[in-house]
Amino acid sequence: MDLIKLLGVLVVIVGFAIKLEPILIIIVAAIVTAIVGNLGVDGLLETLGSTFVANRGMAIFILIMLVTGTLERNGLKNAASALIGKVKRASAGAVIGAYGIMRGIFAAFNVSFGGVAGFVRPIIMPMAVGAIEASGHVPNEDHVETVKGMASGMENISWFFCQVLFVGGGGALLVQSTLAPLGYDVDLLDLAVVEIPIAIFAVLLGITYYFLKDRKLVKKYYGSDAKKED
């Protein structure tokens, strides 16, 4: 068996695992695979060149960036923060859940508000901590630590599973270009549609899980009867 042909796969696995520069890993893996697979220098360069050109659609983000930065300049983040600010008198878990829905919907349109650095830290965390205080508690350090983890988790889950709903997103383009040489022709719209039930399930799961987890923590840290009656 031609186990030697797997050398390039090994390069990728080990390379990423020991955190080498990703582009270096890919080029080395390509060269190693070309050597063990007898592609030759020309074969390597020609395959590299023609596939890259065939996949230029994946760089569509360059065109989208033509508006992304200017949207931010014109106050997109401020608008998003005003929108989420409409969530009043909620628990920390509910704030996270509301953010999960908003992030998921906008992810489906390939719109992000700046991730953890740009949105969770300056807007969601103060809202969540404010929610704990509004219910009459002094925020417990361990509780806030978990809320941070849950907010990041909601951020990731909504983004990962809803971004694939954007028709022509990077993930679907990669799947399309991986399947094509194997003889399967798939449509970008179909690739997005097939993910709709999964995206809805993922967001609902995240919301429910973090809401229940937060409620349990509130009981644990502040006692079940400490919550002020509304």
Partner 1 sequence: MFSMSTPLLALSFFTDPEVTTSAKFLEIMFLAMGLIAIYNGIKNLLDKTNEARIGTAVFWCALGIVMAFGRWIPPLGNGILIIIMTLPAILKQVKVGKTDAPSPEEEKANYDKIGMKIFIPSLTIGLSAIAFALFTDLGALVGIGFGVIISIVILMIYSRKNTPKVFLDDSARLLSIVGPLSMLPMLLASLGAIYTAAGVGNVIADLVGKIIPAGNVNLGIIVFAIGMVLFTMIMGNAFAAITVMTVGIGHPFVLAYGANPVVIGMVALTAGYCGTLMTPMAANFNIVPVAMLEMKDRWGVIKNQVIPALILLVFQIVYMIILK
Window 117-146: residues binding partner 1 (CB under 8 A): 117, 120-121, 125, 145-146
* 44-83 residues near partner 1, rule: CB under 8 A: 44-53, 55-79, 82-83
Note whether 181 binds partner 1 by CB under 8 A.
yes
Residue identified by tokens 């644990």 is 220
Between the alpha carbon of residue 87 and those of residues 35, 146, 207, the distances in Å are 59, 21, 15
Cα dist from 70 to 64, 77, 192, whole Å? 11, 11, 27
Q: For partner 1, which is the closer residue by CB, 189 or 226?
A: 189
CB 217 within 8 A of CB 143: yes
Q: Which is nearer to partner 1, 51 or 136 (CB)?
A: 51
> Residue type at 36?
V
Q: Which residue has the tokens 């230029």?
A: 56
CB 106 within 8 Å of CB 76:
no
Distance of closest approach, residue 225 Cβ to partner 1, in angstroms? 27
Q: Does 8 bind partner 1 (CB under 8 A)?
A: yes
**Site of tokens 């998921």:** 104
| 138-144, long-range: CB < 8 A, 24+ apart | 140/221, 140/222, 142/221, 143/92, 143/217, 143/218, 143/221
With respect to partner 1, which residue has the nearer C-beta, 69 or 223? Answer: 69
User: Total residues contacting partner 1 (rule CB under 8 A)?
Assistant: 121
Query: Which lies closer to partner 1 via its Cβ, residue 90 or residue 151?
Result: 151
Rounded to a whole number of angstroms, the minimum distance from the CB of residue 92 to partner 1 is 13
Segment interacting with partner 1 (CB under 8 A) among 1-9, 87-95, 130-138, 221-229: 1-9
- If the CB atoms of residues 90 and 199 are measured against partner 1, the closer one turns out to be 199
Which of 93, 123, 206, 218 contacts partner 1 by CB under 8 A? 206
- Give the residue with the Cβ less far from partner 1, 213 or 227: 213
Q: Around 200, how many Cα atoms within 13 Å sit in the side-chain half-sphere?
A: 5
- Is there a contact between 157 and 209 (Cβ–Cβ < 8 Å)? no
